[in-house]
Amino acid sequence: MPYNPAHPPTQNADGSWQVTIGFPIEPPVQGAGSVIVVCHLSGTKGEPKLLDWATKDV
């Protein structure tokens, strides 16, 4: 989904960032119309480093 400034990344206490990205499932899965990916990042906008990620049906 496009970036939405109403839902900016969240900075964690350790300085890393939590970002939630949503995208539709094609074709939709029964009980879930889309998936979100929660990413934990460190570094900077120019040089981000992915620490870990997880998916969740929504």
- Mean per-residue pLDDT, 38-57: 82
Cα–Cα distance list, 11 to 22, 31, 43, 44, 47 (Å): 19, 31, 12, 12, 16
**pLDDT tens digit sequence for 9-43:** 888 888 888 777 776 667 666 777 777 788 888 88
Per DSSP (E only), the strands in the chain are: 10-11, 17-29, 32-43, 48-57
| pTM of the predicted protein model | 0.52
